[in-house]
Amino acid sequence: MAEIIRNIIVVGDRDVGKSAWLKQIATDTFNASYTPSSGITVQSICIPTLIGLAGLIKPCMVVNLWDCADQDCYTERAEEIGANGVIIMYSSIESYYNCEKWISFTRESVPNIPIVLCENKRDGVLSPISVNYDELTHHSISAKTGHNLLAPINSLVAVLW
């Protein structure tokens, strides 16, 4: 049976925790120091699942998670990568407002692609940021504690079968 492969791009402002989140998923570890990424890197995870299509068992969906550190790289490569979904991450008021910019880039580069908003660093003392991009699914996570770690991926996967 053919493997199902999907490409999800993770974007957002610098320092919001994209790489830390992906590292936590891959290695179950968290690094408190900040090393800015450059360009684009990918890691793959396998989401095991049973789907109820005539009782067929799909072994897994391979999800390639693309960590995209800068805007140029994102707008140039999103289509070439064959992006199926986008996670836009933020972790502060400023990076939240900049989501509008990331949403626009996404709509221009890969129109009609599913987008999920992801508020990271929900382990601190900050109040939750109220979400106004109403039409988009939203999850609050913490790459540090692992809170809700896979929720953004799972909600995209649910619409990417």
Ligand X SMILES: Nc1nc2c(ncn2[C@@H]2O[C@H](COP(=O)(O)OP(=O)(O)OP(=O)(O)O)[C@@H](O)[C@H]2O)c(=O)[nH]1
At CA 46, angle to CA 42 and CA 50, rounded to 5? 150
What's the N-to-C CA distance of the chain in angstroms? 15
**Rounded to the nearest whole angstrom, what is the least distance from the CB of residue 150 to Mg ion in the complex?**
19
Residue 9 makes contact with ligand X by CB under 6 A = no
Q: What residue number has its CB nearest to ligand X? A: 17
Name the binder of 142 from ligand X, Mg ion, none, CB < 5-8 A by kind: ligand X
Q: Which helix (H) or strand (E) holds 23?
A: helix 18-27
Q: Per-residue string for binding with ligand X, 46-85, x by CB under 6 A?
A: -----------------------x----------------
Residue of 1, 2, 28, 32 that binds ligand X (CB under 6 A): 32
Residues in contact with Mg ion by the rule CB under 5 A: 19, 37
Q: Which bin fits 54, alpha (ψ -120 to 50), beta or left (φ > 0)?
A: left
- Kindly provide the residue ranges of all beta strands, DSSP E only, lying in 22-142, ordered along the sequence: 40-47, 61-68, 85-90, 115-119, 137-140
Residue 144 makes contact with ligand X by CB under 6 A = yes
